[in-house]
Amino acid sequence: MNGKKLNQLKELIYEINDIKMATAVLAWDQETYMPKGGIQDRAEQLSTLNKISHGKFTSSEIGDLIKELKSEIKSIDDESNDVRLIRVLNRTYNKAVKVPASLVAETSKACSIGQQTWIEAKNKSDFSLFKPCLELIIELKKEYAKIFSPYASIYDPLLDDFEPGLKTTDVKKIFNELRPQQVKLIQQIREKKEIDNSFLFREYDIEKQLGLGKDAITKFGFDWDRGRQDKSAHPFSINFGIGDVRITTRLDKNYLPMALFGTLHEAGHAMYEQGISQELRRTPLGHGASLAIHESQSRLWENIIGRSKAFWTYFYPELQKTFPKNLSDISLNNFYKGINKVKSSFIRVEADEATYNLHIMLRLEIEIGLMEGSISVADLPSVWNSKMKEYLGITPKNDADGVLQDIHWAMGAIGYFSTYALGNLVSVQIWEKINQDIPDISSQIEKGEFSALLGWLRKNIYAHGAKFEPQELVQKVTGSKINPAPYVKYLSEKYGEIYSL
């Protein structure tokens, strides 16, 4: 491969990456510390930077370099960093070059304003405040998707942004296989005596909650020299490079799991980013393989580890010591059952493992309907409530607990939601492989030892960054593509034991 041309391309890519990371800093500040009055200025700043980075990336100079280098990679190791970089750049360039810079700028501005408006609408539980912003965002996303026609579904280009290579029909097939089995399990659980988890709703000091979460993820291996934690209205993780990965947490003094498990979840995302090989930094390979793979890591640390009996065998004494008045009368077994209680709930991020995927399927159907035109933005509150009743047997009392609970649409992240459920499936596939390679992993966790687990994840998943497409990576690591069967088995065994099914 022409080394001079490759280095020339990399220098151009590094510059674009730096602009994107600066954009990410502004986006993080918008969600954490920016005063409310700064939204118009911030929207314009982000719009300008996104327009600049898009324009630089879609330049003919980069296109010519990619084309020339692509013709030279056939004889080189297919899994080398340079070959994979050219492949990813070729794919993303061919997609990006079709999108007008004006559309990128307009969408960025609309989403910045949309996010701030969403916060106000959610606080007031009034969807009508957010409706005009969302209508604009949906129209812009339709305009974006139509650029890539013909397609089997207008939703395909949006899904592809988050899950390279996956099609809407692929996701529907996976969900159609998963849905009836999860519904059957939930019905079996509903026939059993309800678990008492009222102790989770006692008053828990917020600062102590933050401290506990910090202690837990420090044990996991979160690198505080390359990360930090802040508060936000909606928890998220974000990175400005492998050396600066940040998480945010939402807290509730009357509900312990919100901050605790939210912290474990976001730390899972962050540790993934912190574990990417330094060789990939400042390139399109220097981030997670996809949103589903990313979500597999957050759900693995939050649920498979964080809600396991093994983890709480180790960590529960510390929790009781921190909140003696709240938990001194609660046994380890009752606490374990309480944090794994299955019950239909309004809020996705607080949903239990058995019902969580139904929240995602609901959102996927709505997104497809919005894009295809069978659902209008004006009808969203009623459509949402109807589907909640159909899927989970409950109806939200207000917009804040219903259609306004997620920030994703305000961010323009249409096509994102299915990755959450796909991540659940992948997390269990990975967990099965970990148990094969580290047979005593559960006993290690009971002792508070996580170094072997983190080391395995870094070697097999994290270090690769985005070198491999999601299905390729899952196949490489587990021996199979994304498959719902292991997840159904995991749920059946775990909740079969908890509920004596």
**Residues recognised as catalytic:** 266
The vertex-106 CA angle with 100 and 109, nearest 5°, equals: 145
Around Cβ 479, how many Cβ atoms within 10 Å? Answer: 11
The whole-angstrom separation of Cα 338 and Cα 202 is 13
102 with 144: CB under 8 angstroms?
A: no
Q: Of 168, 108, 97, nearest to 137 (Cα)?
A: 108
Q: Of 209, 250, 211, nearest to 231 (Cα)?
A: 250
Q: Of 433, 417, 416, nearest to 486 (Cα)?
A: 433
Bridge partner list, 231: 249
Q: Which residues contact 206 (CB under 8 A, 6 or more apart)?
A: 251, 253, 259
How far is Cα of residue 117 from the mean position of the Cα atoms in its chain? 22
The whole-angstrom separation of Cα 89 and Cα 83 is 10
Cis peptide before 150 (omega within 30 of 0): yes
86 with 70: CB under 8 angstroms?
A: yes
Q: Of 103, 140, 133, 109, nearest to 44 (Cα)?
A: 109
Q: Of 263, 280, 207, nearest to 13 (Cα)?
A: 280
Q: Of 265, 260, 361, 377, nearest to 319 (Cα)?
A: 260
Which amino acid, 290? S
Which amino acid, 28? W
Give a three-class secondary structure readout of 116-183: HHHHHHHHHCCHHHHHHHHHHHHHHHHHHHHCCCCCCCCCHHHHHHHCCCCCHHHHHHHHHHHHHHHH
The vertex-155 CA angle with 143 and 391, nearest 5°, equals: 130
The whole-angstrom separation of Cα 217 and Cα 263 is 8
The whole-angstrom separation of Cα 287 and Cα 53 is 17
222 with 271: CB under 8 angstroms?
A: yes
Bridge partner list, 230: 248
Q: Of 47, 9, 2, nearest to 283 (Cα)?
A: 9
Dihedral class, residue 415 (left if φ above 0, else alpha if ψ from -120 to 50, else beta): left
What is the number of residues in the chain? 501
